[in-house]
């Protein structure tokens, strides 16, 4: 019997098929805001795009807030624009002098020290990342620069101005929104994120699932007038809306809309020249609580401060106890009842 010999060589014009299974790596979802930032870099003709992209996605994966990512990109964008104007073309060529010149340029533009300090902090975080990736030399971030920021007092609204302001508010939504801010000390972002399900009128409390700044949840309590204002608002609001306060087009009321309503009422009350902001309602709540005898530790929990030093600023603002102690001590001095027995009786020339 004769067997045909089957050729073992691969026929001409054919290739052996690789039957090894191919594992496709799932594509990572792109963040729309980060993609928009990267397009701005390209449009401006700035270098360092791959490093900026990796950094922004890194802080995004670490759970940083959108506002943090936005602030970081703004600082990086301005710094890269500054480097481009200096003739730099690579991140590897960054020096400490470049950073110093950038800070001086921001100061020359008339920016507030707090703004310059914030941008400098964002830049140091980015440069620290580049050092870890061995893109730039570690000496660039040694002996960090610091911008002196004035330690100003928190701005509270004068009690008489509070009465004037509240007296002009007529709409149930605005009345409830302003009273809640004033009676709970909530940040405006926290209130705008609040949903109806987080409000418990029977127990007079609002649960903040995640704070807008430090992402720590807490509970705040409602005064009787705030509860009444909410009950009026609940009768008027659309029950189909999930958020406590909503706009005409969107489910949640925007910050710009809330801010515009606040300033409209300020103007109506004749207080627009005072320079009050929405955040002043939070400052007012804190100062009034301390004047009412609340401890710093308790106020810290209500305000959601991660550090009690932040709360301690309001102790400098709150002056009722301090004022009483001052006049009590001064009365003793003026009577001459302290050691030394002196009084200032003669008139100045």
User: Which CATH number goes with the domain that contains 48?
Assistant: 1.10.150.130
d(CA 230, CA 236): 10
pLDDT value at residue 30: 80
d(CA 188, CA 281): 9
Considering the domain architecture, whether residues 285 and 168 belong to the same structural domain is answered as yes
Structure confidence by residue, pLDDT tens digits, 152-184: 778 899 999 999 999 999 999 999 999 999 999
Considering the domain architecture, whether residues 137 and 168 belong to the same structural domain is answered as no
What count of other Cβ atoms lies within 10 Å of the Cβ of residue 196? 15
Considering the domain architecture, whether residues 178 and 318 belong to the same structural domain is answered as yes
Write down the residue that tokens 């005898």 correspond to: 293
Whole-prediction pTM: 0.70
Which H or E element spans position 117?
A: helix 113-132
Considering the domain architecture, whether residues 219 and 294 belong to the same structural domain is answered as yes
In this model, does residue 1 exceed pLDDT 80?
A: no
Structure confidence by residue, pLDDT tens digits, 18-57: 444 444 444 456 889 999 999 999 999 999 999 999 999 9
Structure confidence by residue, pLDDT tens digits, 26-36: 445 688 999 99
Our count of domains for the chain comes to 2
* HEC sequence for 139-183: HHHCCCCCCCCCCCCCCCCCHHHHHHHHHCCCCHHHHHHHHHHHH
Structure confidence by residue, pLDDT tens digits, 298-343: 999 999 988 888 888 887 777 677 778 888 888 888 887 766 555 5
In a domain, 257, yes or no: yes
Considering the domain architecture, whether residues 64 and 130 belong to the same structural domain is answered as yes
Print the domain residue range for 257.
159-322
In a domain, 201, yes or no: yes
- What letter does residue 221 receive in the DSSP assignment? E
């Amino acid at each position: 019997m004769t067997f045909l010999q089957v050729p073992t060589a691969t026929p001409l014009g054919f290739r052996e098929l690789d039957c090894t299974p191919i594992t496709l790596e799932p594509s990572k979802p792109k963040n729309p805001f980060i993609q928009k930032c990267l397009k701005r870099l390209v449009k401006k003709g700035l270098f360092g795009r791959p490093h900026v992209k990796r950094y922004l996605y890194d802080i995004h994966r670490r759970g940083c807030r959108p506002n943090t990512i936005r602030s970081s990109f703004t600082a990086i964008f301005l710094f890269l624009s500054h480097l481009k104007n200096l003739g730099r073309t690579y991140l590897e060529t960054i020096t400490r002098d470049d950073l110093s010149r950038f800070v001086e340029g921001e100061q020359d533009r008339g920016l507030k020290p707090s703004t310059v300090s914030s941008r400098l902090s964002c830049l140091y975080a980015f440069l620290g990342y580049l050092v870890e990736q061995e893109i730039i030399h570690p000496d660039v971030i040694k002996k960090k620069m610091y911008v002196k920021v004035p330690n100003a007092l928190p701005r509270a609204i004068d009690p008489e101005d509070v009465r004037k302001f509240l007296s002009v508010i007529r709409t149930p939504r605005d009345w409830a929104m302003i009273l809640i801010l004033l009676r709970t000390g909530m940040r405006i972002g926290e209130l705008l994120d609040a949903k109806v399900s987080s409000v418990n009128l029977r127990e007079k409390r609002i649960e903040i699932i995640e704070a807008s700044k430090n992402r720590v949840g807490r509970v705040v309590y409602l005064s009787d007038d705030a509860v009444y204002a909410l009950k009026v608002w609940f009768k008027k609001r659309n029950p189909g809306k999930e958020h406590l306060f909503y706009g005409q087009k969107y489910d949640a009321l925007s910050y710009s809309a809330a801010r515009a309503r606040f300033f409209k009422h300020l103007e109506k009350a004749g207080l627009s020249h005072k320079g009050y902001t929405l955040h002043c309602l939070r400052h007012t709540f804190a100062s009034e609580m301390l004047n009412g005898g609340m401890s710093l530790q308790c106020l810290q929990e209500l305000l959601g401060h991660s550090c009690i030093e932040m709360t301690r600023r309001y102790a400098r603002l709150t002056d009722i106890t301090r004022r009483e102690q001052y006049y009590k001590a001064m009365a003793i001095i003026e009577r001459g009842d302290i050691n030394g027995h002196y009084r200032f009786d003669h008139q100045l020339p």
